[in-house]
Amino acid sequence: MAKKNEYPAIYIEWCDASANNDAWQYEDDILDWAKQDTVWLIKEVGFIIKETKEYILLASKYHPHESGNKLDGCMKIPKTWIRKRKVISSF
């Protein structure tokens, strides 16, 4: 069973790698596409499962189970990709 305050809930904004797969394009069009900040900004809410100097490990949901916590929707995000974070609360 998960202990109270075991997994803090967090709102996080991070930049993901992105690709432009629209076939052949002119260089100017590609450079304009690369300037768009909205292309790669991800906004997410999850539970902090683990945090190190290099990354944060989030789960979108967890199930406190007598045999051990079950996790789903896990994502490991490099710290250098994180732009904004705010702890929402603890459960």
* Cβ proximity of 90 and 10 under 8 Å: no
Q: Flag whether the pTM goes above 0.85.
A: no
* Residue 33, helix vs strand vs coil: helix
Contact 85, 15 (CB under 8 A): no
Residue reference for tokens 């100017």: 28
Beta-bridge partners for 58 = 48, 75
Strands (E), 25-90: 41-51, 55-63, 70-78, 82-90
pLDDT number for residue 2: 46
Work out the pLDDT band at 77, boundaries 50, 70, 90: very high
pLDDT digits (tens, 9 = 90+) for 3-61: 555 889 999 999 998 888 778 999 999 899 888 866 688 999 999 999 999 999 999 99
